[in-house]
Amino acid sequence: MRAVVQRVSEASVTVDGEIIGQIANGLLVLLCAMQGDEKEDADYVLRKISRMRIFRDDAGRMNRSLQDVAGSLLVVSQFTLAADTRRGNRPGFSAAASPEVGRNLYDYFVSQCHTLELNTATGQFGADMKVALTNDGPVTIWIDSDQK
Choosing from 78, 112, 120, 122, which is the catalytic residue? 78
User: Which tens digits make up the pLDDT trace of 56-85?
Assistant: 999 999 999 999 999 999 999 999 999 999
Q: Tell me the CA distances in angstroms from 8 to 19, 28, 40, 138, one per residue in order.
A: 17, 7, 27, 8
Element (H, E) at 48: helix 39-51
Active site residue 120: no
- Give the per-residue pLDDT at 18: 98
Is it the case that residue 147 has pLDDT exceeding 90? Answer: no
Active site residue 109: no
Task: Name the DSSP class of 24.
Answer: S
Phi-psi region of 64 (alpha: psi -120 to 50; beta: other; left: phi over 0): beta
User: Which tens digits make up the pLDDT trace of 88-143?
Assistant: 999 999 999 999 999 999 999 999 999 999 999 999 999 999 999 999 999 999 99
- Give the per-residue pLDDT at 143: 97
Host domain of residue 16: 2-147
Total of domains in the chain: 1
- Give the per-residue pLDDT at 148: 80
- Give the per-residue pLDDT at 76: 98
Choosing from 6, 14, 55, 79, which is the catalytic residue? 79
Active site residue 55: no
- CATH number for the domain that contains residue 55: 3.50.80.10
Choosing from 67, 80, 134, 140, which is the catalytic residue? 80
- Give the per-residue pLDDT at 69: 96
- Please, are residues 66 and 49 in contact by the beta-carbon 8 Å criterion? yes
